[in-house]
Structure formats: C-alpha cells, structure tokens
Amino acid sequence: VQLQASGGGLVQAGGSLRLSCAASGRTFSSYGMGWFRQAPGKEREFVAAISWTGGTTYYADSVKGRFTISRDNAKNTVYLQMNSLEPEDTAVYYCAASRRYYSGSLYSRADFGSWGQGTQVTVSS
C-alpha cells in the first residue's frame, strides 16, 4: 500500500491541525493504520493508531486527550485531529500501515510495514 500524508503546517500553541493520510488501492480497510513523529535529533516515536476494524485505537500518553485518530474507508484515508497543540508536538509526522488483517496491538514501529513520506508540523510558542 502506498501512503501520502498531508495537512501539516505552522500553528500557534493551543491551536489545531488535522493531518490526512491517503492510501492507494482497494484494500485499505484491511490495514491497521498509525501515525508516528520524529523531532530533530530524536528517534521516531509512536503517536496514535487504529485497528483495521476501526474498533480499537491506541495513543501515546503524551497525546491522549488532545489527539484523535479516525479512518474513512470509503475515502481510503486516515486522519489525525490534533488539538491543544504544544511546541513539544513539533516534528515530522509519518503515517504507516500494518500488515493486512493484523490483530495485534499497534504501538511499535515493528507492527507497521508500509510508510508514507512525512508532513511537517511546527507549533510556535
């Protein structure tokens, strides 16, 4: 599956952004999807994920209550709604797809096999 992330930009602290990740093909609904981010000089870290059924979501502690992941299988798209943004959220955000029909938890980079290009999110203080 090929992935294309978009929606990044510059926002003030306390503001909101919605990231989108569009997937190619007709099998999108069978993939668990996730978002990761990488700040300068840091390792890529997990942000949020949603199971292929859409019934289970996962969040990093640092974004719980502020970010929401969702998916629209009709549009082959997964979203990351980011509210109450903080300067610490500044990073390049990447979307990723798991193996098809993967039923395990989705927290680790190892759980995902396909990656899109990143989209930059910058939060100013």
What is the overall mean pLDDT for the chain?
A: 96
How high is the pLDDT of residue 103? 86
Rounded Cα distance between 10 and 80, Å, is: 16
Label the pairing between strands 67-72 and 91-100.
unpaired
> Do 66 and 82 form a contact (C-beta atoms < 8 A)?
yes
Would you say residue 33 has pLDDT above 90? yes
State the Cα angle at 110 between 119 and 51, rounded to 5°. 75
Label the pairing between strands 57-59 and 45-50.
antiparallel
Rounded Cα distance between 106 and 94, Å, is: 15
How high is the pLDDT of residue 2? 94
Q: What tokens appear for 59 in the block?
A: 């969040």
How high is the pLDDT of residue 6? 97
How high is the pLDDT of residue 25? 83
Rounded Cα distance between 112 and 99, Å, is: 7
> Do 36 and 94 form a contact (C-beta atoms < 8 A)?
yes
The average pLDDT across 53-67 equals 96
- Chain segment 64-102, per-residue pLDDT in tens: 999 999 999 999 999 999 999 999 999 999 999 998 998
> Do 33 and 78 form a contact (C-beta atoms < 8 A)?
yes
Would you say residue 20 has pLDDT above 90? yes
pLDDT band at 104 (very low <50, low <70, confident <90, very high): confident
Rounded Cα distance between 122 and 103, Å, is: 33
